[in-house]
Amino acid sequence: MTAVLTESRPIRLKGRSFLALALAPELPFDDWLARLDDLAARSTGFFLQRPVVLDVNGLTIDRSQLSELVEKLGARKVRIMGIEGARPSLLGPDMPPAMLDGRPASDVSPSADGAPAVPAADSDAPAASPLPKAPSSIVVSQPVRSGQSIVFPDGDVTVIGSVASGAEVIAGGSIHIYGALRGRAMAGTTGNAEARIFCRKLEAELVAIDGYYRTAEDLGSDLHGQPAQFWLEGDTFKVGSFA
Amino acid sequence: MGKVIVVTSGKGGVGKTTSSAALGAALARNGDRVAVVDFDVGLRNLDLVMGAERRVVYDLVNVIQGEAKLTQALIRDKRLETLFLLPASQTRDKDNLTAEGVAEVIGALRQAFDWVICDSPAGIERGATLAMRHADIAVVVTNPEVSSVRDSDRIIGLLDSKTLKAENGERMEKHLLLTRYDPLRAERGDMLKVDDVLEILSIPLLGIIPESMDVLRASNVGSPVTLADETSAPALAYFDAVRRLKGENLPVTIPGEKRGFFGKFFGRRAA
């Protein structure tokens, strides 16, 4: 049985990753800012128009020091889009948001003309990645409890157990749930329209593939409590049983 | 070395304090040394349920802040000489509980008692996470109702991630205590079925406590229900729960379920 669920044009939510410069300030900040000014004087516009993340990992600073630093950087036209490695107590509504799960990329060094030279971007051949290839699937062998979130942008997620109401599984590839899906499942979030979602028992709050989503209300009651799978055909969100 | 039990739920009003007092008294009745610790700083209730409110001098926060010794703050029960209460502070707030202070108090209690029962506050904030932090066993109190079940599920997730046991890579022993179970409403389908709750939470069932006026009556006279009326249905259910907690394999019966002669033999097994 296959039901077409697309009626109106759905809103698309997509994941994107961008290369940001991560600035790691050192204490005392005044010395470090002086060195930064020196760098900026030698290569004008280094930070202009670039997403910059502040990496404060390992620094013992308080909230006022951090907000003062962000302010001083702002005065130098360095706009901080996020802060990595800060305790939640250091951040507030007036501060840039916390950034998590950053993965290292090649170092960026300023060139004479001021534009950061991004390695590999200017070569024709695809550059060999310095990182080992990540595994393309993970297996979660416990139930995913309410409030928990499994995020795996690199591939498939298999859950042996149920995904509770208020829990979410987010995968770059497909999602397989050997149990009841009562929470949210979002597959193909990195732009993979081929991804699918499978579950033993469908009681989901929300399912999404490549940004197309359906809530429990849109899903209707035909397959409620039944084994089900979801996939995309073009712009059409499909659901079917596989019993 | 005693065992530390946290009685927790996420949601308020499901019966954590009642269950902490009832389980504590049931354990102490067999001669085990039991300390029941109220972690609900600012909204203390356990002293009332255990009938010790007129004898509170020092509390948990006083001990943590070094203003009183543990032996000064512990209140011995008037009926059972192996049952003790460590009350919470009503005037301070939860920020006075420090992680180091709680670790020290629980460590000392663990040395002196067979069982340390931590009555957790509702919610998932500091008080609740500190109450569960040092536990060996968790009793998750749940009503057969969707919001309570979802909150309990959230708490089970925290028990598996935020406790010392979880951080050391060990498995926290978790038990489900289904409270305020109303056979009449269950028959009408107004409540979640026991099997549905067990399927969603997937942890073993410690017991089913029926909704009963005996519980209200007991807390009004300041007595754990297992001491107030030892033959009442909730008291019997708590006694069975304690036997299972101690490792006995006792089948769980669902209150109000009519069972024939054979049904008794093919009783529901505790998972």
pLDDT of the residue at A239: 92
Q: pTM here?
A: 0.69
Which residues of chain B have a CB within 8 Å of the CB of A180? 199-200
Q: Determine what percent of chain B is predicted with pLDDT higher than 70.
A: 94
pLDDT of the residue at A44: 63
Instruction: Quote the minimal CA–CA distance from A136 to chain B in Å.
Output: 25
Own/partner pairs, B187-196, CB within 8 angstroms, 24+ separation: B187/B256, B191/B144, B191/B145, B192/B144, B192/B145, B192/B146, B192/B149, B193/B144, B194/B144, B194/B254
Instruction: Quote the minimal CA–CA distance from B218 to chain A in Å.
Output: 34
Whether B166 has its CB under 8 Å from any CB of chain A: the answer is no
Which residues of chain B have a CB within 8 Å of the CB of A164? 150, 153, 200
**Which of residues A118 and B221 earns the better pLDDT score?**
B221
Q: What mean pLDDT is predicted for residues A101-123?
A: 50
| C-alpha of B48 from chain center | 15
pLDDT of the residue at B221: 92
pLDDT of the residue at A225: 92
Check pLDDT > 60 for residue A110: no
Contact between B158 and B132 under an 8 Å Cβ cutoff? The reply is: yes
Whether B160 has its CB under 8 Å from any CB of chain A: the answer is yes
Q: What mean pLDDT is predicted for residues B1-10?
A: 95
List the single range of A115-119, A201-205, B221-225 with lowest mean pLDDT.
Answer: A115-119
Instruction: Quote the minimal CA–CA distance from B157 to chain A in Å.
Output: 5
Which residues of chain A have a CB within 8 Å of the CB of B124? 147
Are residues B160 and A142, on separate chains, in Cβ contact within 8 Å? yes
B120-135 pLDDT per residue, tens: 999 999 999 999 999 9
Are residues A166 and B157, on separate chains, in Cβ contact within 8 Å? no
pLDDT of the residue at B257: 64
The structural domains of chain B, ordered by start, are 3-140+210-246 (3.40.50.300)
Whether B53 has its CB under 8 Å from any CB of chain A: the answer is no
Question: What are the φ and ψ backbone dihedral angles of B137, each rounded to 5 degrees?
Answer: -130, 140
A60 closest CA partner among A25, A36, A95: A25
pLDDT of the residue at B69: 94
Is B63 labelled a binding residue?
no
Contact between B55 and B106 under an 8 Å Cβ cutoff? The reply is: no
Are residues B160 and A162, on separate chains, in Cβ contact within 8 Å? no
CA closest to A203 among chain B residues: B200
**In the structure, what pLDDT confidence band is assigned to residue A135 with cuts at 50, 70 and 90?**
low
User: For B150, which of A142, A148, A166 is closest by C-beta distance?
Assistant: A166
Q: Determine what percent of chain B is predicted with pLDDT higher than 90.
A: 80
Q: Determine what percent of chain A is predicted with pLDDT higher than 70.
A: 75
pLDDT of the residue at B266: 47
Are residues B160 and A161, on separate chains, in Cβ contact within 8 Å? no
Q: In what order do the strands lie in the sheet with A212-215?
A: A149-152, A168-171, A184-187, A206-209, A212-215
List the single range of A107-111, A219-223, B113-117, B225-229 with lowest mean pLDDT.
Answer: A107-111
Q: What is the rounded distance in angstroms from the CA atom of residue A87 to the CA atom of residue A43?
A: 33
A48-66 pLDDT per residue, tens: 666 788 888 777 888 888 8
Which residues of chain B have a CB within 8 Å of the CB of A143? 202
